[in-house]
Amino acid sequence: MPRKFILLLVTSLVFLVPVSATGPAEAAPDNFRPKNGPTFNNPLGDVTDRRAIFRKIIRSVNSTKRGSTIKFFTWNFATSEAATALLRAQNRGVRVKLIMDKQNNKEVPNVTFRRLRSGLKDGNDKWPRSRRSWARTCKQSCRGPGGASHSKFFMFSKVGSAKRVVMQGSANLTLAATNNQWNDMYTYVNNKKIWKFTEQIFAEASVDKRLKAPFEAISLKNSDLIMFPLQGKKAYDPVARMLNDVKCRNAASTASGRTVIRIAPDVLRQARGMSLATKVRDLWNQGCDVKIGYTVMGIDVGRFLRNPAGRGPVPMKHLVQDFDGDGVFDNYFHLKTMSINGNYAGNRSGYAVLNGSANWSSSSARSDENLGVYYTKKRALRYQGHFDYWYNNFPSTGTSARSTTSAKPTTSDQLVFGSGKGAVYEDGTPVSTDGTNPFRKRSKD
C-alpha cells in the first residue's frame, strides 16, 4: 500500500493499546486447531468479523506448545496484543522469530516492535543458544536488491494437534489490518512441501542478503505457492500467466457462457500494472465478464482502463472510505486477489484464484512477496463470491477518492488521494491549482 496513508494509520493506532510494564503473564491454555482454506475479515462488522484473521493468528500463537517454533514475516508489526502473545509463547518454551520492514521502525516510532524485540532478547537468557528468539528488520527486500520486505506469512511448527501450519495472504500483523482493511489469509495445515518451501524462504530472508535469483515457486496438485522478488532466469509473473490462459467465450461453468474474472489488486500502477491492465482490457474487449475493485490506481492506468473505445470502459469501483475527504483512506480493500471462472487453461469449466501480498505494480516485482494460486472450484467461487458481495454492497458512506482523471495531471503515474477540489498528489501537492474540482466533467471528455 502507499506509505503515505499507511504511516498515518499506524501512527494513529499504534499507541491505542497500553503496554504492560510488568511483562507478559502466562497465557491461558488454548487448544485451537486451524483449518485449511481462506479466512476473510470485515472491518465494518462486529468484533468477530473484524478480528477473524487476527484471532486465527493469535489463537494459533496461544496454542503453540513448548519446543515448537513460530516464524512470522510481516511488512509491519503494530499490535500490542500480538507482542504480548509472542512474548508469552517464548516464556513457555516456544522459539519466536519475526521479520519486518525496517522503514516501519524508522519512519514511525514503532514502540510495539521495539518492545517485542527487546523482550525476546531479554527472554533468551533462560534458553540455550539453539532455542533463542529474535525480531529483526530488513532494509529493503530481504532477498533482493531493492523494493520492500512486503511479505505476509505466518508459520507454526505445531498448533495444538496441527503440524506445519502456514498462513499467507494480504494481512499484516497490525491493528489497521483488523479495523481499517478488508484482508484475506489462506491456511495450509500439515503440508510438508509447503512447509519446507516456506522454511527455505524464511531462512534466506532472515540474513537480509541479496540473492541472484530470488524468485521461487512450488507446484502441488491443486495449487502453487510463489515468492518474489520477480527476478531470476526461472521467474514468471503469475498474474500474467493466469490471464494468458483465459479464453472469454464458450465457458461451460457460467450462465452467460463468458469467463468471469474478478480482480482486487489493491494497487494497480507503474509499468507492471499497465502491462497487466493491457491484458485485462484485451480480455474485456474479447467478451470476458470483468470487474475490478481497487484502492489505488496510477492515473495513466486508470485512463487506459476507462477509455470508451472498443467494448467501452472496463467496469471498476473504488473500494475505499474517506470520511473527511483528507486523502487518508479510513477503510479500504487491501486484498490482492483475482478469481477466474470459465474457459481457463483448456478447460471450459476451469477455475483459478490468486491471493497473497503482491500489488499489481513494479514495486511489488522488486519486493519480498508471497502469492498463492488455487485451481479448485470451491476456492475460486469462494473468492469470487466474496468479491461480488463487496463490489455490489460497498458502503456509500465516506468519500470515495478517485485515482484517475481526464483533467490531465502533471505526471502520468502519480497517485491521487481524496476527491474534488481538496484532492492531493501523493507528495501532498494539491491537484487543483485554482480551487476548482479537477475531476469535473469536461465538454471534450
Instruction: Give the global pTM.
Output: 0.85
Asked if residue 185 and residue 70 are part of one domain, the reply reads: yes
Q: What is the mean pLDDT of residues 418-445?
A: 51
Whether residue 436 has pLDDT greater than 70 = no
- Specify the pairing of strand 316-318 against strand 331-333: unpaired
At residue 324, the pLDDT reads 81
Asked if residue 163 and residue 119 are part of one domain, the reply reads: yes
Q: Is residue 411 part of a domain?
A: no
At residue 122, the pLDDT reads 96
Q: Is residue 50 part of a domain?
A: yes
Order of all β-strands in the sheet with 134-138: 37-40, 184-189, 162-169, 152-159, 69-74, 95-101, 134-138
Q: Is residue 440 part of a domain?
A: no
Q: Is residue 283 part of a domain?
A: yes
Q: What is the mean pLDDT of the chain?
A: 88
* Residues of the domain holding 76: 3-211
pLDDT digits (tens, 9 = 90+) for 33-67: 999 999 999 999 999 999 999 999 999 999 999 99
Q: Is residue 431 part of a domain?
A: no
Q: Is residue 439 part of a domain?
A: no
Which contacts (CB < 8 Å, 24+ apart) does range 55-58 have?
56/167, 56/185, 56/187, 57/82, 57/154, 57/167, 57/173, 57/185, 58/82, 58/85
At residue 106, the pLDDT reads 87
For residue 229, cis peptide bond before it (omega within 30 degrees of 0): yes
* Separation between Cα atoms, residue 389 and residue 394, nearest integer Å: 8
Could you tell me the CATH number of the domain that includes residue 325?
Answer: 3.30.870.10
Asked if residue 106 and residue 31 are part of one domain, the reply reads: yes
Inter-residue contact 353 to 371 (CB < 8 Å): no
* Separation between Cα atoms, residue 408 and residue 67, nearest integer Å: 60
Asked if residue 9 and residue 69 are part of one domain, the reply reads: yes
Could you tell me which residues come within 8 angstroms of residue 83 by beta carbon, excluding any fewer than 6 positions away?
77, 112, 113, 115, 116, 119
Q: What is the mean pLDDT of residues 208-224?
A: 97
Q: Is residue 441 part of a domain?
A: no
pLDDT digits (tens, 9 = 90+) for 331-376: 999 999 999 999 999 999 999 999 999 999 999 999 999 999 999 9
Asked if residue 239 and residue 184 are part of one domain, the reply reads: no
Sign of the Cα pseudo-torsion (432, 434, 440, 445, in order): negative
Asked if residue 380 and residue 329 are part of one domain, the reply reads: yes
* Separation between Cα atoms, residue 418 and residue 405, nearest integer Å: 12
Helix or strand (DSSP H, E) at 154: strand 152-159
Whether residue 425 has pLDDT greater than 70 = no
Whether residue 424 has pLDDT greater than 80 = no
Whether residue 149 has pLDDT greater than 70 = yes
Q: Is residue 370 part of a domain?
A: yes
At residue 399, the pLDDT reads 54
Quote the number of domains for the chain.
Answer: 2
How far, CA to CA in Å, does 421 sit from each of 310, 325, 328, 401, 417?
A: 31, 10, 15, 11, 11
Asked if residue 369 and residue 255 are part of one domain, the reply reads: yes
